[in-house]
């Protein structure tokens, strides 16, 4: 036995795995699956409209837009970056530019430019957090405020409409009966999963979140890795915003409000550690599925929007509480 194992007072990331890690691990994984099944069971009993292809496709479509952000946000949490609060700004940037630039440069280049600019906002976050060591919440809050202000100023606070119906049809369409948006989401999720769990970049991300100075002393380019997580989130939110704009064919500056919370909720509910060093894309997506199904059941049951917000907030509290409890149990 190591003396450090029993020292609860000096707990560090990773200590949640000190003892009985496999049991706890399996339990937290199975717990989420059981919760998802329970929601499906309850939904099927409570509401006839729930267990239908139409409804599931609905959930899948709305889930896909948030889901793309969730993939990025997973990297931010795992690398120890707490959260990216500039998501509403990057989504608005993606949505407004991909619609607003259409008359000038056509739909595909507009989408590209929109995503690139969202990535640039992510890069700004990343440089502030990774290279200047600014607290991520403060940095992304500030950058988000600036970004949103600039977007609002650029369009004068009005709504932007799409001018290219063909692009809307493409995004809203289906391939083999599956919504195109969902396919894009699946592709991004798989890519994200491969990067995080199989690539050296992913290993670096986990190491940086697990012990920053040890990773630095192991020749991991920690600053770039930290910044990279925010760039990934910026790009993801840009894609998500672009798809959202194309689907709705209109974009307000506040179109992305609330997406940061939905994404954080999903990631945290999925059991990704808030202090970094542990987590995976499938976990985060399991969290997302749970949250989305729960929201769907609430909508079908006629629960009002503010109450849904309340439940989401409460879910985050429970999830972080559980994360802390697991760490504590792992430590003792």
> Taking CB under 8 A as the rule, which mask of x and - marks residues 299-318 in contact with another protein?
-----xxxxxxx-xxx-xx-
Minimum Å gap between C-beta 59 and another protein is 21
**Does 282 engage in binding with another protein (CB under 8 A)?**
no
Binds another protein (CB under 8 A): choice among 3, 165, 166, 302: 3
Phi first, then psi: give them for residue 139, nearest 5 degrees: -60, -50
d(CA 26, CA 23): 5
Q: In sequence order, what DSSP letters do the residues of 294-308 get, joined into one string?
A: HHHHHHHTT--HHHH
332 in helix, strand or coil?
coil
Phi first, then psi: give them for residue 179, nearest 5 degrees: -55, 140
The residue whose two tokens read 């939110």 is 237
Binds another protein (CB under 8 A): choice among 24, 57, 116, 141: 141
Binds another protein (CB under 8 A): choice among 70, 76, 188, 220: 220
Q: Which of residues 23-62 bind another protein (CB under 8 A)?
A: none
Of 53 and 213, the one with the shorter C-beta distance to another protein is 213
Give the helix/strand (H/E) hosting 85: none
Binds another protein (CB under 8 A): choice among 29, 172, 203, 252: 203
Binds another protein (CB under 8 A): choice among 244, 264, 289, 326: 264
Q: Which two tokens stand for residue 170?
A: 């493409």
219, 230 contact by CB (below 8 A): no
Binds another protein (CB under 8 A): choice among 9, 23, 104, 166: 9
Taking CB under 8 A as the binding criterion, the range among 23-31, 60-68, 212-220, 280-288 that sits at the site for another protein is 212-220
> Taking CB under 8 A as the rule, which mask of x and - marks residues 110-129 in contact with another protein?
------------------x-
Minimum Å gap between C-beta 310 and another protein is 4
32, 271 contact by CB (below 8 A): yes
To the nearest 10°, report the CA torsion of 229, 81, 85, 260: 70
Binds another protein (CB under 8 A): choice among 66, 118, 182, 215: 215
- Polymer length in residues for the chain: 332
Q: In sequence order, what DSSP letters do the residues of 263-293 get, joined into one string?
A: HHHHHHHTT--TTSS---HHHHHHHHHHHHH
**Does 221 engage in binding with another protein (CB under 8 A)?**
yes
**Does 14 engage in binding with another protein (CB under 8 A)?**
yes
Q: Which of residues 167-186 bind another protein (CB under 8 A)?
A: none
């Amino acid at each position: 036995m190591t003396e450090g194992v029993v020292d609860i007072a000096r707990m560090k990331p990773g200590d949640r795995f000190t003892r009985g890690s496999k049991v706890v691990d399996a339990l937290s994984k199975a717990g989420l699956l059981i919760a998802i099944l329970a929601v499906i069971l309850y939904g099927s009993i409570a509401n006839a409209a729930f267990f239908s292809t139409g409804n599931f496709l609905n959930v899948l479509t709305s889930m896909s837009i948030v889901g793309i952000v969730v993939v990025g946000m997973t990297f931010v949490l795992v690398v120890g970056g707490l959260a990216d609060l500039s998501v509403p700004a990057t989504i608005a940037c993606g949505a407004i530019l991909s619609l607003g630039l259409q008359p000038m440069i056509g739909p595909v280049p507009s989408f590209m430019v929109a995503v690139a600019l969202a990535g640039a906002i992510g890069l700004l976050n990343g440089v502030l957090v990774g290279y200047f060591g600014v607290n991520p919440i403060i940095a992304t809050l500030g950058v988000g405020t600036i970004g949103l202000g600039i977007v609002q100023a650029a369009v004068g606070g009005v709504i932007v409409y799409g001018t290219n119906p063909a692009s809307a049809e493409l995004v809203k369409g289906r391939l083999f009966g599956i919504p195109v948006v969902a396919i894009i989401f699946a592709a991004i999720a798989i890519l994200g999963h491969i990067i995080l769990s199989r690539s050296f970049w992913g290993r670096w991300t986990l190491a940086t979140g697990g012990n920053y100075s040890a990773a630095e002393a192991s020749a991991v380019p920690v600053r770039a890795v930290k910044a990279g997580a925010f760039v990934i989130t910026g790009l993801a939110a840009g894609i998500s915003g672009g798809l959202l704009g194309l689907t709705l064919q209109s974009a307000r500056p506040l179109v992305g409000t609330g997406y940061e919370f939905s994404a954080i909720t999903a990631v945290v509910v999925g059991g990704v550690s808030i202090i970094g060093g542990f987590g995976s894309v499938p976990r985060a997506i399991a969290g997302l599925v749970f949250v989305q199904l729960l929201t769907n059941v609430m909508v079908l049951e006629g629960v009002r929007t503010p109450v849904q917000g309340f439940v989401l907030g409460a879910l985050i509290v429970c999830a972080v509480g559980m994360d802390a409890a697991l760490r504590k149990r792992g430590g003792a």
